[in-house]
Amino acid sequence: MDRFYTTPVDRLSSEDFRDLVLLGLREDAPDGDITSESIFGPGDKCTATLIAKEQGILCGTAILDELLFQTRNNFAYTILSPEGANFQKGEKLILLSGSLLSILKIERVLLNFLQYLSGIASETNRIISRYGGKIQIFDTRSR
């Protein structure tokens, strides 16, 4: 991979975070989800809605494609608010449907990434807004 901290990146690909997603899934349920698998069957379906608990900026929705890939396309999603958009408390952000076991498998990892990345985007936006947009952010890390 030729991407380094000091190289500007305007778009991420799944390769940039594939290993992190895999680690997240392994950490959350290294031996599977015994509780879910003992209650629900592989043919059980569901729908789920991600609803904002507070206002912010949505960031990290690209992880959905990687989660879909790593669960063998056993669910579908609809993003209701575009990446980088402001959202309000109580707003519906994402709809999930499909395999109940797959959705239960990915929900904690999905929420962890979305909360973390949206939190960074929201705080960055707040700081930039405080200074009237007259601020530059530089990455000071090096190889």
Please list the pLDDT of the chain residue by residue as tens digits (143 residues).
455 555 656 677 888 889 999 999 889 877 878 889 999 999 999 999 999 999 999 999 999 999 999 888 899 999 999 999 999 999 999 999 999 999 999 999 999 999 999 999 999 999 888 888 788 777 666 55
Domain boundaries, the chain: 15-130
Which element (helix H / strand E) includes 97? strand 92-99
Task: Measure the CA–CA gap between 127 and 132, rounded to whole angstroms.
Answer: 9
Q: pTM score, two decimals?
A: 0.84
> How many beta carbons lie within 10 A of that of residue 75, not counting itself?
23
Task: Measure the CA–CA gap between 59 and 116, rounded to whole angstroms.
Answer: 9
CATH topology of domain 15-130: Aldehyde Oxidoreductase; domain 3 (3.90.1170)
- 139 burial type by CB count under 10 A (0-12 exposed, 13-18 middle, 19+ buried): exposed
